[in-house]
């Protein structure tokens, strides 16, 4: 007899990405030359996980007692202050309004946002192409996910479609939680221009009188974009006090320590009583989910954020990693147009998507020749973060042939 509740009795057993990665790894181990563009982590050209050495050293220097002890429920104060100070270093107004709670990565931040800013049964709004765990996080919290078409026919953000979706959801459920993942959107690779941020803010402000709207910016790839990472924050200032403003902050990519599970949900709430209520609700959610996060992990990241010499060393080392990624992006952009491969503007970041029908069939054809990409609805996700620069030409060839 299956004792699971009926609604959970036919959950998918395994993330399909892992199955692809397992096949790619075993074929490579058997001697085949495999191009594995499925891994969602930045790898060196020789396949090793790319790390910031300074971050690794600082993690090693955290004393055993710090790893062993519980952390405060909402997170260690030095860590939370470090996150807010780092994110809003050029934005005193946002900084003054900010509260944060620690979460296991950006995933935890998304979870806390979903349960605190929309009611059970209501829908989170995001773009048609999105990181698929958004849907899982909603499912797990008895919420739904609805989307707007992400791109116009000329492959720019479809802000009219977004606006219509916001209006529709406000009419239907009287509140909106909109998740925007930028820069280096996963999976498309799109990074918004400042004018697009400005236009988005205008649209949200125009709708704010019709009900509570909250914008959550998922900044998982904040430090891998081509533009100054914090420049867009200036455009968000007019939202303060009118549209709720949240950030899902993560150390996974910024400090290359994915398994450390360090992140934070940052909320900008200018009114002190509302800020205190927000902080209490988020802290309560921490107690009711994971209780508290890794004290040792927060200690390490707090040091990296607050010690100027360590922060500068991480910046230098991250610049090298970004250059590694940028070389692959440049190679892709140099070769793909000649093969008529359709993809959105891609300036940098871990992933890009190629638009196609029958993504599963085309990915299967590519696998036959040893090139692995992830098939999603209407696109193939190509993780350049895990591809040797010398293999980009082979990857583009396989894509070009599969799309014919």
Ligand X SMILES: Cc1ncc(COP(=O)(O)O)c(C=O)c1O
Nearer to ligand X, 37 or 396 (CB): 37
Lookup result for tokens 């599963």 = 360
Residues at the site binding ligand X, with contacts judged by CB under 6 A? 40, 105-107, 131, 181, 186, 218, 220, 250, 252, 258, 263
**Selection from 37, 28, 18, 16 nearest residue 385 by Cα:** 37
Least CB distance to ligand X at residue 252 (A): 3
Chain position whose Cβ is nearest to ligand X: 105
Q: Which is nearer to ligand X, 133 or 270 (CB)?
A: 133
Structure tokens at 121: 């049964």
Q: Which is closer to ligand X, CB of 191 or CB of 250? A: 250
In whole angstroms, how close is the CB of 241 to ligand X at the nearest point?
26
φ/ψ (deg, to 5) at 243: -125, 135
Any residues with CB less than 8 A from the CB of 185 and at least 6 apart, and which?
127, 129, 191, 349
**The pair of three-digit structure tokens given for residue 276, joined into one six-digit string:** 């205190």
Indicate the residue among 76 and 256 with the shorter CB distance to ligand X. 256
Sign, Cα dihedral of 178, 294, 133, 36: positive
User: What's the closest the beta carbon of residue 301 comes to ligand X, in angstroms?
Assistant: 12
Q: Output the smallest distance, CB 211 to ligand X, in A.
A: 26
CB of 297 to ligand X, least distance (A): 12
Phi and psi at residue 266, to the nearest 5°: -105, 130
Q: Are residues 384 and 328 in contact, defined by beta-carbon separation less than 8 angstroms? A: yes
218/391 with CB nearer ligand X: 218
Nearest partner of 97 among 239, 194, 211, judged by Cα = 239
Q: Least distance in Å: CB of 1 to ligand X?
A: 35
Could you tell me the two tokens for 361?
A: 């069939």
∠ CA(184), CA(376), CA(130), 5° rounding?
40
Indicate the residue among 158 and 218 with the shorter CB distance to ligand X.
Answer: 218
């Amino acid at each position: 007899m299956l004792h699971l509740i009926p609604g959970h009795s036919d959950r998918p057993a395994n993330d399909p990405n892992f199955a692809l990665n397992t096949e790619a790894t075993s074929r490579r181990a058997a001697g085949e030359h495999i191009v594995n563009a499925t891994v969602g982590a930045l790898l060196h050209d020789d396949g090793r996980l790319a790390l910031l050495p300074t971050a690794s050293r600082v993690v090693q220097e955290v004393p055993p007692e710090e790893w062993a002890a519980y952390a405060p429920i909402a997170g260690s104060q030095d860590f939370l202050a470090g996150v807010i100070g780092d994110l809003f270093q050029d934005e005193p107004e946002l900084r003054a309004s900010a509260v944060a709670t620690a979460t296991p990565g950006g995933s935890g931040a998304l979870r806390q946002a979903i349960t605190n800013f929309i009611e059970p049964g209501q829908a989170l709004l995001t773009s048609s192409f999105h990181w698929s765990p958004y849907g899982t996080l909603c499912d797990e919290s008895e919420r739904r996910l609805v989307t707007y078409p992400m791109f116009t026919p000329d492959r720019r953000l479809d802000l009219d479609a977004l606006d219509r979706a916001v209006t529709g959801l406000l009419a239907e459920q009287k509140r909106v939680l909109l998740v925007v993942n930028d820069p280096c959107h996963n999976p498309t690779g799109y990074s918004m221009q400042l004018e697009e941020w400005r236009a988005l803010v205008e649209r949200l402000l125009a709708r704010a009188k019709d009900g509570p709207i909250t914008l959550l910016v998922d900044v998982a790839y904040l430090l891998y974009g081509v533009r100054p990472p914090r420049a867009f924050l200036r455009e968000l200032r007019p939202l303060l006090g009118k549209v709720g403003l949240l950030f899902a902050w993560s150390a996974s990519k910024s400090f290359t320590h994915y398994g450390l599970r360090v992140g934070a949900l940052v909320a900008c709430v200018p009114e002190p009583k509302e800020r205190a209520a927000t902080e209490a609700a988020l802290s309560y959610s921490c107690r009711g989910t994971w209780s508290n996060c890794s004290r040792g992990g927060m200690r390490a990241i707090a040091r990296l954020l607050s010690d100027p010499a360590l922060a500068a060393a991480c910046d230098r080392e991250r610049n090298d990693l970004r250059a590694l990624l940028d070389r692959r992006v440049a190679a892709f952009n140099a070769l793909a147009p000649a093969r008529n491969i359709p993809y959105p503007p891609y300036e940098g970041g871990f992933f890009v998507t190629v638009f196609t029908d029958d993504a599963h069939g085309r990915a299967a054809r590519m696998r036959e020749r040893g090139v692995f990409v992830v098939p999603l609805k209407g696109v193939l996700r190509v993780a350049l973060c895990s591809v040797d620069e010398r293999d980009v030409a082979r990857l583009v060839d396989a894509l070009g042939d599969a799309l014919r």
